[in-house]
Amino acid sequence: MSVRELDAWLARGGSAAWSAALHRASTAARAAWGPWEPIRIPDPRLPAALALAMATYLVADGATAVERVSWDQVEGFLGLHDLPGEDRPPGEPVHDWERIALWEANLLVRGHDLTDQGDPVSGVWTLLRRDTGPPDGMLDLAYELNDWWGGSMLLNAITRRWNDLKDHFDVTAVRR
């Protein structure tokens, strides 16, 4: 996955809000990483940029301009520690499936058919919700040696390269 793949997602278009969110995430990714090529397979940078675009799009929810969405709003929506409306002890981790259910519910409310690969938002969602766990029968040691991520692509995107984008995200809103 590389900056060329990010450009391919940008070229697919979509609604004005989706295009703005994807452009904003792309700008932050390019500022953070430059014109990157994969450093390893799988490379977590494209999923991180796409997760940032998706979170920005969902936070904006048609009521807020994409350019006005802050990093704190995005991280709050991600539920890195707590999900909105959840009653859980402070610091208890959010499970991957809980985050996926929240994002899918928000996409459905926004009118997306999650199986429609012609919809660029649903296409990105298909990538982000993909399970990246080891193949059945792979030994734990082989799992660790091969650096299989485990969990969804979304979970790995927000735990591996997420903070690289932080210093560049709010700046993109000011420059536009």
Q: Per-residue pLDDT tens for 86-131?
A: 565 666 656 677 788 888 998 999 999 999 989 999 999 988 887 6
Residue 84 preceded by cis peptide, ω within 30? no
Query: CA nearest 102: which of 78, 125, 72?
Result: 78
Residue with tokens 């429609």: 116
Instruction: State whether residue 16 is helix, strand or coil.
Output: helix
Check whether 66 has a pLDDT greater than 70: yes
**Which tokens is 121 given?**
């938002």
What integer is the mean pLDDT of 71-98? 67
Residues 4-62 have pLDDT tens digits of 788 888 899 899 999 999 999 888 888 887 776 655 555 677 888 888 999 999 999 87
| More confident: 6 or 154 | 6
What integer is the mean pLDDT of 58-82? 81
| More confident: 49 or 76 | 49
**Which tokens is 10 given?**
């940008």
pLDDT of res. 141: 46
Model pTM?
A: 0.78
If one counts every other C-beta atom within 10 angstroms of the C-beta of residue 85, the result is 6
DSSP string, 89-108: -TTPPPPHHHHHHHHHHHHH
End-to-end CA distance of the chain: 27
Query: CA nearest 43: which of 145, 110, 171, 132?
Result: 132
What integer is the mean pLDDT of 126-139? 66
